[in-house]
Amino acid sequence: MSELLVKSKEIAVPGEELAIGMDFLPSYGTYRDGDKIIANKLGLVHIEGKVVKLISLSGRYVPKRGDTIIGDVTDLLMSGWRIETNSAYSAVLGMKDATSEYIARGADLSQYFAIGDWVVAKITNVTSQKLIDITMRGPGLRKLNGGRIIYINTNKVPRIIGKAGSMVSMIKDATGCKIIIGQNGVVWVQGEPEMEIHAVETIKKIERDSHVSGLTDKIKIYLETITGKKLEAQTQKYPQK
């Protein structure tokens, strides 16, 4: 007889028994031990039919192919740049992936990106040994000028972006700030000083309250209160990015 020992949205800790019986299937964040499914990290339980998995709530960023990240240049290499990714591993931006321009061998690479510059880039490859390649060729990928950088829990990034980008669009609308959210938990914000402070406060609030239900509505009210600006209703106004 199979039995679930936890419910969706409960917090599980490492070693906790989540289900008994072979009718359930262990997925991310869990392992099977005999007829039991056990949590192998801290996470939010998510049950989908027979599949038992955990959603991470904490931990550093793990680089994944296809992620858009924000990082800073930490070194100039023979034929590219080393970029810090806010994870255990740094990434390499090769010359041919840096710009659409042709860069001749031996050119002064700091003319393009200097040490300390911040960039938005996309991960194109992660090897088993965690060597990371990134590219700057693609829409929205660029060097960041001005603005400020904040760090957030990388596991909360989807919540801050919101469904189809709704949450971040709302903050941008209310504060007039430019905001770019890296999957690696690095966020870039640029706008008028007061508005920037509001935008950052809102992002921190979402990070803190990420599991509160009806969060989008609450953030809307919060933003209206702090900016004194009426926001339009959240319907189809914010299309998919």
Question: Cβ atoms within 10 A of the Cβ of 232, count?
Answer: 10
Task: Give the three-state DSSP class for 13.
Answer: coil
For the segment 79-138, give every residue that binds other proteins (CB under 8 A): 88-90, 116-118, 128-130
Burial 197-215 (b: 16+ CB within 10 A, else e): bbbbebbebbbeebeeeeb
With contacts defined by CB under 8 A, name the span among 11-19, 100-108, 175-183, 227-235 that binds other proteins: 11-19
For the segment 142-181, give every residue that binds other proteins (CB under 8 A): 144-149, 155
Q: Is position 196 an interface residue for other proteins (rule: CB under 8 A)?
A: yes
Indicate which single residue of 1, 13, 78, 233 sits in contact with other proteins (rule: CB under 8 A).
13
- Residue 104 beta carbon to other proteins: minimum distance, rounded to whole angstroms: 27
Identify whether the C-beta of residue 196 lies closer than 8 Å to the C-beta of residue 190: yes
Indicate which single residue of 35, 65, 212, 237 sits in contact with other proteins (rule: CB under 8 A).
212
Placement of tokens 């419910």 in the chain: 7
Q: Is position 75 an interface residue for other proteins (rule: CB under 8 A)?
A: no
Report how far apart, in Å, the C-alpha atoms of 69 and of each of 158, 182, 186 are: 13, 4, 7
Output 96 or 211, the one with its CB closest to other proteins: 211
d(C-alpha 12, C-alpha 153), whole Å: 19
Task: Give the three-state DSSP class for 15.
Answer: coil
Tokens of 194: 């007061």
| Residues at the interface with other proteins (CB under 8 A) | 9, 11, 13-17, 31, 38, 40-42, 44, 56-60, 62, 72, 88-90, 116-118, 128-130, 144-149, 155, 190, 193-194, 196-197, 200-201, 211-215, 217-218
